Structure 1
Amino acid sequence: MRRSRITGFVTSLLLAVGLGLTGAASAQASSTAAAGGYVALGDSYSSGVGAGSYISSSGDCNRSTKAFPYLWNAAHGPSSFTFAACSGATTDDVLSTQLGSLDSSTSLVSLTVGGNDAGFADVMTTCVLQSDSSCLSRINTAKAYVANTLPGKLDTVYNAISAKAPYARVVVIGYPRFYLLGQSCLGLSETKRSAINGAADYIDDTIKARATAHNFVFGDVRGTFTGHEICSGNSWLHSVNWLSIGESYHPTAAGQSGGYLPAFTGAA
């Protein structure tokens, strides 16, 4: 297993600077999903990087007992639970290392993937260390990848999931916006923050479109994280975490339980 690409970003930064459903309908859907096996796939936003309480046997995948898949499993008791999500995973990694537990008895699958494919870590490195114009240029490059290449990558993953788990309800979950705009907040300029939020919307909208085309359900966390972005004063996202630098720019435990878990539960 390799380190999270976000961890690599934060390390380079330090060196450089010297530093849904509701109510009865939701309950019925969750009850149906819990009748079979649940498999959690994806990247660090599913494995729980930033939430702490990591499972020692997960190694560099940094799977957390406070991550939303682990919390949902504890609350609903599916017939089986496979926690395959891994820090740093791309679509290719999901295809090559995470699909082994899927079969015809799988009734529920969750997935977060696409951010590492789009080069999120390099986007953040550029935006933190360089000018507004360099940041916007790098974001535009990432958006071009999301527009032209990522849809095909997602289609390949989604097709593989459907082939291996034909009866599963598949919930594809997106990414939160990072910043609450219009606040007095140290760090990036408002121009950069706004552009980064726009990039999050762009990849979420792309993921949602491809998931919907495959008859999967999209879990949107932008609503649940509203008011809890960086610069909000009650952030559910780490900025630079000096005590555990690899957790930077990931959801906190509160972000997993208050942001990701409700979005997933409402869609499952």
Structure 2
Amino acid sequence: MRRLLPVLLAALSITAVTGTASAAPAFTEYVALGDSAAAGPLIPDQDVLNLGCLRSSRNWPSVLAGRLGVATFRDVTCSAAVADDFEGSQTTFLGAVPPQFDALTPTTDLVSLTIGGNDIGLVGAALGCVNLLPEPVGFSCQRRLTAGGVDQLAVKIDAFGPEFAAVLDGIHARSPHAKIVVVGYGTYIRPGGCYPAQPLWGRDSDYLQASIARLNGVFAAAAEEHGATFVDIAPPSVGHDVCAPIAERWFEGLVPTTAAAPLHPNQRGMAGIGGYLADALSDSVS
């Protein structure tokens, strides 16, 4: 028994060490690409070295990077970005910023991507739907944008599909071993809206959210065809839309109630989206 005791103690020591050792991070070099839905305009604290991009250090890419424990994190998301700004420089109100693709390297092993809202003019379309008076005063944006049987937003969304696919191919070419996570747009407004709290008629609210769903569908299809993973944040953001109580909102309405841009995620939303993505990625690699 005395001879066995040191062996048993050694075995217990090894078990304790291996049992308490933390697992190595699944990703080590993370690059975030995208527009204001990822950048977080006006959310404290803004990146003072890149103020033209209106990028917050508390946006969801930063939340995700912290949760994943990556060693290297480069966030080049920039408000008002369009797909062309990945290969070409983007002009901001404080001057030009480098192409977002410049942040990618052959050793990058995780890339997040949110782009397309500006390409199709989503925010402009939403602003064009504002009606300060109830029906029938004013004019429905849904009626205007679908006049003649042609859905103008749908046409733009479908036309963006090949351009988005080219962005995915561009990421693969520069970072061939990276996992690409395509993050769509959320549930900004509930069915029927909440007029007059948000001055969008019910049918116009439904039209805008349906257009977002269509755009998310384009993302999902392109991701499947081009070796990426689509993460849909619409389901987890249900109940956190612009109609929700202020303390539960992930997205600001036309008149923000916290430090964030109108019709964009607020800090609570960034935390919720970042946490959801971290859990989704952890499940995918476990």
8 A Cα contact 1:172 1:216, kept in partner: yes
8 A Cα contact 1:219 1:264, kept in partner: no
**Any gaps of 5 or more consecutive residues in structure 1?**
1-26
Matching residue within 245, 252, 274 for 1:238: 252
- Pairing 1:62-77 to 2, within 5 Å after superposition: 62-77=54-69
Matching residue within 143, 157, 164 for 1:146: 157
Counterparts of 1:184 and 1:63, CA distance in 2: 30
The TM-score normalised by the length of structure 2 is 0.76
1:61 aligned partner: 53
2:267 aligned partner: 253
Which aligned runs of 4 or more in structure 1 are off by greater than 6 angstroms?
243-246
8 A Cα contact 1:67 1:257, kept in partner: yes
Letter in 2 for 1:258: G
1:73 positional shift: 1.9
8 A Cα contact 1:183 1:232, kept in partner: no
Counterparts of 1:137 and 1:37, CA distance in 2: 47
Counterparts of 1:101 and 1:207, CA distance in 2: 22
1:165 aligned partner: 175
Find the residue that maps to 2:130 and give its secondary structure. Answer: helix
Q: CA RMSD in A?
A: 2.5
Q: Percent identity?
A: 24
1:172-205 CA distance string (max 9 Å, x none): 0000122122465311111001111100100001
Find the residue that maps to 2:86 and give its secondary structure. Answer: helix
**Which piece of structure 1 moves more, 81-90 or 92-101?**
92-101
Letter in 1 for 2:188: F
2:139 aligned partner: 131
Counterparts of 2:259 and 2:146, CA distance in 1: 25
1:240 positional shift: 2.4
1:243 positional shift: 7.6
1:116 aligned partner: 118
More helix per residue: 1
1:117-152 CA distance string (max 9 Å, x none): 1111221132125621225559921211111x2111
Find the residue that maps to 1:150 and give its secondary structure. Answer: helix
Find the residue that maps to 2:109 and give its secondary structure. Answer: strand
Find the residue that maps to 1:232 and give its secondary structure. Answer: coil
1:3 aligned partner: none
Q: Which has the higher contact order (CA 8 A, sep 6+)?
A: 1
Counterparts of 2:42 and 2:184, CA distance in 1: 17
**Which piece of structure 1 moves more, 192-201 or 131-140?**
131-140
2:43 aligned partner: 51
Larger radius of gyration: 2
**Any gaps of 5 or more consecutive residues in structure 2?**
1-21, 89-98, 132-137
8 A Cα contact 2:39 2:78, kept in partner: yes
Matching residue within 59, 77, 81 for 1:85: 77
1:58-100 CA distance string (max 9 Å, x none): 2121111210111222233322111111001111012221011
The TM-score normalised by the length of structure 1 is 0.81
8 A Cα contact 1:50 1:251, kept in partner: no
8 A Cα contact 2:67 2:278, kept in partner: no
Find the residue that maps to 1:162 and give its secondary structure. Answer: helix
Letter in 2 for 1:145: K
Find the residue that maps to 1:100 and give its secondary structure. Answer: helix
Q: Relative to structure 1, is the Cα distance of residues 205 and 183 closer, same or farther in structure 2, using a 3 angstrom cutoff? A: closer
**Which piece of structure 1 moves more, 100-109 or 254-263?**
254-263
Matching residue within 178, 195, 200 for 2:188: 178
8 A Cα contact 1:39 1:84, kept in partner: yes
1:24 aligned partner: none
1:236 positional shift: 1.3
8 A Cα contact 1:41 1:84, kept in partner: yes
Report how many residues are paired: 238
Counterparts of 1:242 and 1:248, CA distance in 2: 5
